[in-house]
């Protein structure tokens, strides 16, 4: 018998710039240092027991086999009804709503469905870390347009200038991760005007749609659904995980015109096929009561205000937090360190983990700003504030 030589073939990576993310690095360090982890964006509290019971009821009722590829009809109908009630546009539940394995899968599926090798896709930096690798996996060309430093508002002159005959799509995100800014009606109208004479598609990441604050000041979520010129060319992405405090369930959805949905589903059926059945039925049952998502802005605004009042007693300079569950802070008066080194120092020496905003830029642009997540129990936030008060 001949000797078998084990040899693992070498690979040429498709994502040469991708390594261990800052989120993994900071979470590992937070665990090692027993730090309060305000880095990664997920709650440390439980969801509504009624939602767990609804999923359990679906399981015990025998709803455990493959559902339809696009999602169970009752959930798609509930999503369609919600979008019409909140934003005034009717989506056909059969042909224009698809349930996805979280918003991240929804975004890469949309990109793979429409982006061909050589197509350009505009991203607005800082941006969620999956956007760029998704475009690269599709063979697309990433065109980075910076949001205005300091305010993180869209610069429509720069966006307009970035559009070329090769532009296939633009990705936007409001409420915005990581900056916690919210696009206004005027912003959306400006984008609609810019895109009107083009065939550029829109991927609108709206996972924090139910976390827009200061309603008493007229602030509201300006979904692309509201704007006919945008909705007609848009994949609207949202997340049940963010809305219902169940990020580990990984369930979201995409709403898009029928022609776009047909292409989306061609990819969807071959990368995940479908999403787990009992959770879909449980979500559909839970959505019969709109109060959980209608009350979410007040729920998170109270946490935002608690956290901001604590940070106001430190040397951090607080940036506005208009939506999402993030709070950004300028560290210029706290430390001379760059963002990444400051976050490592803060975790190791003060015992609170944060994320550098430079991690959301392709070139690591450092503007002395870090991001905290306040989707935490009050006692977690108070523990962090007590430690940060040392600064």
For residue 115, what pLDDT is reported? 98
Q: Are 249 and 279 in contact (CB under 8 A)?
A: yes
Angstrom distances, CA of residue 185 to CA of 15, 161, 259 = 37, 21, 26
Give the number of domains in the chain: 2
Among 375, 328, 384, which Cα is nearest to 356's? 328
Q: Give the span between the Cα atoms of 381 and 174, in whole angstroms.
A: 24
Is the domain of 33 the same as that of 85? Answer: no
**CB within 8 A of 220, min separation 6: which ones?**
212
Residue in this structure with the two tokens 């550098």, named with its chain if needed: 356
315 forms beta bridges with none
Could you say which of 257, 289, 321 is where a domain stops?
A: 289
For residue 23, what pLDDT is reported? 81
In a domain, 5, yes or no: no
Is the domain of 177 the same as that of 97? Answer: yes
Is the domain of 27 the same as that of 105? Answer: no
Residue 390 confidence class, pLDDT cut points 50, 70, 90: confident
Residue 122 lies in domain:
49-289
Q: Show the DSSP H helices in 164-206 as ranges.
A: 185-195
- Render pLDDT for 122-147 as a digit per residue (tens, 0 to 9): 999 999 999 999 999 999 999 999 99
Q: Give the span between the Cα atoms of 253 and 107, in whole angstroms.
A: 10
Residue 298 confidence class, pLDDT cut points 50, 70, 90: very high
Evaluated on CA atoms 98, 100, 106, 108, the torsion sign reads negative
Residue 54 confidence class, pLDDT cut points 50, 70, 90: very high
Is the domain of 234 the same as that of 333? Answer: no
Could you say which of 223, 258, 289 is where a domain stops?
A: 289
pLDDT at position 2 over 80: no
- Render pLDDT for 241-268 as a digit per residue (tens, 0 to 9): 999 999 999 999 999 999 999 999 999 9
pLDDT at position 176 over 80: yes
Q: Give the span between the Cα atoms of 52 and 320, in whole angstroms.
A: 34
In a domain, 344, yes or no: yes
Is the domain of 250 the same as that of 180? Answer: yes
Q: How far is CA 170 from the centre of its chain?
A: 15
In a domain, 14, yes or no: no
Residue 27 confidence class, pLDDT cut points 50, 70, 90: confident
- Render pLDDT for 183-206 as a digit per residue (tens, 0 to 9): 999 999 999 999 999 999 999 999
For residue 17, what pLDDT is reported? 86
- Render pLDDT for 341-354 as a digit per residue (tens, 0 to 9): 999 999 999 999 99
Q: Give the span between the Cα atoms of 328 and 357, in whole angstroms.
A: 9
pLDDT at position 83 over 80: yes
In a domain, 84, yes or no: yes
CA dihedral 162, 163, 166, 168 (to 10 degrees): 110
In a domain, 279, yes or no: yes
Give the pTM.
0.96
In a domain, 8, yes or no: no
Q: Residue 380 belongs to a domain with what CATH number?
A: 3.90.1150.10
Q: Token pair of 361, please? A: 């830029």
Report the SS3 class of residue 36: strand
Report the SS3 class of residue 66: coil
Q: Give the span between the Cα atoms of 149 and 169, in whole angstroms.
A: 23
Is the domain of 168 the same as that of 204? Answer: yes
**CB within 8 A of 327, min separation 6: which ones?**
180, 304, 307, 308, 311, 318, 319, 321, 371, 372, 373, 374
In a domain, 1, yes or no: no
DSSP state, 336? S
pLDDT at position 20 over 80: no
Q: Token pair of 66, please? A: 């493959």
For residue 294, what pLDDT is reported? 97
In a domain, 205, yes or no: yes
- Render pLDDT for 267-292 as a digit per residue (tens, 0 to 9): 999 999 999 999 999 999 999 999 99
Could you say which of 256, 289, 322 is where a domain stops?
A: 289
Residue 118 confidence class, pLDDT cut points 50, 70, 90: very high
Is the domain of 148 the same as that of 215? Answer: yes
Output phi, psi for 349, to 5 deg. -100, -30
Is the domain of 177 the same as that of 269? Answer: yes
Q: Residue 96 belongs to a domain with what CATH number?
A: 3.40.640.10
Q: Give the span between the Cα atoms of 274 and 66, in whole angstroms.
A: 8
Is the domain of 159 the same as that of 283? Answer: yes
Mean pLDDT of the chain: 96
For residue 321, what pLDDT is reported? 98
Q: Give the span between the Cα atoms of 387 and 344, in whole angstroms.
A: 15
Q: Percentage of the chain with pLDDT > 90?
A: 93
Report the SS3 class of residue 261: helix
For residue 256, what pLDDT is reported? 98
């Amino acid at each position: 018998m001949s000797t078998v030589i084990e040899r693992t073939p070498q690979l040429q990576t498709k994502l040469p710039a991708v390594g261990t993310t800052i989120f993994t690095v900071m979470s590992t360090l937070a665990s090692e240092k027993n730090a309060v982890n305000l880095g990664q964006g997920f709650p440390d509290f439980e969801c509504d027991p009624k939602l767990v019971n609804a999923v359990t009821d679906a399981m015990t009722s025998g709803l455990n086999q493959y559902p339809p590829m696009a999602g169970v009809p009752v959930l798609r109908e509930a999503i369609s009804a919600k979008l019409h009630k909140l934003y005034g546009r009717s989506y056909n539940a059969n042909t224009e709503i698809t349930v996805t394995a979280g918003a991240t899968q929804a975004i890469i599926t949309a990109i793979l469905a429409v982006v061909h090798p050589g197509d350009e896709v505009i991203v607005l930096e800082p941006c969620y870390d999956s956007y760029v690798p998704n475009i690269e996996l599709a063979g697309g060309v990433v065109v980075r347009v910076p949001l205005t430093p300091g305010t993180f508002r869209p610069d429509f002159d720069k966006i307009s200038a970035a559009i070329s005959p090769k532009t296939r799509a633009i990705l936007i995100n409001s409420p915005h991760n990581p900056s916690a800014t919210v696009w206004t009606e005027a912003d959306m109208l400006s984008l609609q005007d810019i895109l009107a004479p083009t065939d550029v598609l829109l991927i609108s990441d709206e996972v924090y749609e139910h976390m827009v604050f200061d309603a008493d000041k007229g602030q509201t979520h300006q979904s692309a659904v509201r704007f006919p010129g945008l909705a007609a060319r848009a994949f609207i992405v949202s997340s049940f995980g963010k809305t219902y405090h169940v990020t580990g369930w990984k369930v979201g959805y995409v709403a898009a015109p029928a022609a776009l949905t047909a292409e989306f589903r061609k990819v969807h059926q071959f990368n995940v096929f479908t999403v787990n059945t009992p959770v879909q039925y449980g979500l559909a049952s839970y959505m019969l009561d709109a109060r959980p998502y209608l009350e979410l802005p007040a729920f998170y605004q109270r946490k935002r205000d608690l956290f901001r009042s604590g940070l106001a007693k430190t040397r951090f300079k607080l940036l506005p937090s208009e939506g999402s569950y993030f709070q950004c802070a300028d560290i210029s008066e706290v430390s001379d360190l760059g963002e990444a080194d400051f976050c490592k120092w803060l975790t190791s020496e003060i015992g609170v983990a944060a994320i550098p905003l430079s991690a959301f830029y392709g070139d690591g642009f450092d503007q002395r700003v870090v991001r905290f997540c306040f989707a935490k129990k009050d006692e977690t936030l108070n523990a962090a504030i007590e430690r940060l008060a040392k600064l």
